[in-house]
Structure 1
């Protein structure tokens, strides 16, 4: 009886562990889509309303998906803090705080880093070009992440249960 209970607990734990890893793969496409939408909002704020950078980021944070709103809010607060930071420095500081709690990859953060280096350094048209480039790169990452998610989500779900079943068989 104890072996059966232990086996059930092991299979359950393995299955839950697999589902947790699978969920992380499934989060990335959604975060990328939210980020894409927010960057497009930032482009609109910069190009068409000519809003100052801190206020533009604040407005984006107010209208963006909650998964990425904190990133733009942090950047806006850094710019408004009167600490003498440039838009790029505030963007980088916000990225450093955002990265540990998100599901984005290093490549995704590299796209954001490149974009941050261009913000606030040139005229509106040049910034719009950099924002559009970042949007195109993020769109490509969305496609890749959706493919990875569909592949890896199934794999980790099955691997969690099958790995636990294999452990149960070995223990018997």
Structure 2
């Protein structure tokens, strides 16, 4: 009886571990798409509405959902409350907190960090160029993320369960 319970627990744990890894592969393209959309909204707010950066980020945060909203909300809060942070510092701080709870890779984070260095330091036209560049780079990463998700999501789901079943067979 205890062997059966142990086997079930082991298979469930292995399956859950595989599903957690697979979930990160599946979440990354969704998060990148949300970031691209948010950056396009930010570009519209800055270029066409001539909204100050703090307000523009707050509007983008209100228009988006999920953890991407938190990224823009935290950055706008740092700018609007007047913590004395530059736009780049506010973005960097928000990005560090965002990265912890996201499924983004180091490459994705580097693209967003580079964007942060340009925010608020130049005119609207230059910021537009940096926002478009970041969107294009993220679109390339999105295609890579979709390929990785298609390839790895199912594999990790199966690997979790099959690996646990193999362990059960070896142990019993």
State the TM bucket, normalised to the shorter chain.
over 0.9
Shift of 1:15: 1.0
Does the residue aligned with 2:104 lie in a helix, a strand or coil?
coil
Match of 1:133 in 2: 133
In structure 2, what is the Cα distance between the partners aligned to 1:97 and 1:122? 25
In structure 1, what is the Cα distance between the partners aligned to 2:116 and 2:13? 42
Match of 1:25 in 2: 25
Give the count of matched residue pairs.
172
Shift of 1:10: 1.4
Q: Map 1:80-159 onto structure 2 (within 5 A).
A: 80-159=80-159
Match of 1:15 in 2: 15
Match of 2:71 in 1: 71
Match of 2:50 in 1: 50
| Residues 39-66 of structure 1 deviation map (CA, whole Å, 9 limit, x = unaligned) | 0000000000000010000000000122
Comparing 82-91 with 67-76, greater Cα deviation is found at 82-91
In structure 2, what is the Cα distance between the partners aligned to 1:123 and 1:9? 59
In structure 1, what is the Cα distance between the partners aligned to 2:10 and 2:106? 33
In structure 2, what is the Cα distance between the partners aligned to 1:85 and 1:59? 19
Match of 1:170 in 2: 170
Q: Is the 8 A contact 2:67 2:98 kept in 1?
A: no
Q: Is the 8 A contact 1:22 1:154 kept in 2?
A: yes
Q: Is the 8 A contact 1:34 1:67 kept in 2?
A: no
In structure 2, what is the Cα distance between the partners aligned to 1:138 and 1:122? 22
In structure 2, what is the Cα distance between the partners aligned to 1:88 and 1:17? 37
Q: Is the 8 A contact 1:15 1:164 kept in 2?
A: yes
Does the residue aligned with 1:159 lie in a helix, a strand or coil?
helix
Does the residue aligned with 1:91 lie in a helix, a strand or coil?
helix
Q: Is the 8 A contact 1:108 1:141 kept in 2?
A: yes
Does the residue aligned with 2:82 lie in a helix, a strand or coil?
coil
Shift of 1:83: 2.2
Q: Is the 8 A contact 1:46 1:56 kept in 2?
A: yes
